[in-house]
Amino acid sequence: MTSEEKRVFLLLKAVIYHYHGLDEAEKRDMDTVSTELSAKEELAWALDFVAKDYITAFDRAREFLNHIIGDYPKPQRVELINMVWQSNNVKGYVTEMEATAMLKLARDWNVERELIDLVLK
């Protein structure tokens, strides 16, 4: 995974997790994933991105990600949204707010149907 892909993935996780407020399980998950990916710098960048303005973080991230992910092949877009969905399931649940945020991103990336299909499995 390239540094850009790590940033994209960790920013996705950060904005989804912060959508309702980051809890301890989510913080541990982000720390674990950044360690597994050797991406401590990318995690710091993602958390700083969110911290600059929590209120607008999702909309800013959405705009930022749309510029990058729009060029990704469809299977890669599906994989990214699925990775975020699966990481939310690690804590045992996905909140309505998180699901709504992921659906918005999936719609932006033209993979909404694929996300719904993955969720229904």
| Model confidence pLDDT, tens digit, residues 1-55 | 889 889 998 999 898 888 777 888 888 989 999 999 999 999 999 999 999 998 9
Which pLDDT does position 59 carry in this prediction?
Answer: 92
Q: What is the pLDDT of residue 19?
A: 76
Please check whether residue 17 is in contact with residue 26, taking contact to mean a CB–CB distance below 8 angstroms: yes
Place of tokens 């674990």: 32
Length of the chain: 121
Mean pLDDT of 72-89: 87
Quick one: tokens of 117?
């299909």
Determine the pLDDT at residue 97.
83
Q: What is the mean pLDDT of residues 91-111?
A: 87
Burial 37-57 (b: 16+ CB within 10 A, else e): bebeebbebbbebbeeeeeeb
Q: How confident is the model at residue 90 (pLDDT cuts 50, 70, 90)?
A: confident
Maximum distance among all Cα pairs of the chain, rounded to whole angstroms: 37
Per-residue model confidence (pLDDT) at position 43: 96
Domain ranges of the chain: 3-120
- Among 73, 20, 13, 77, residue whose Cα is nearest residue 49: 13
What's the pTM?
0.84
Share of the chain above pLDDT 90, in %: 50
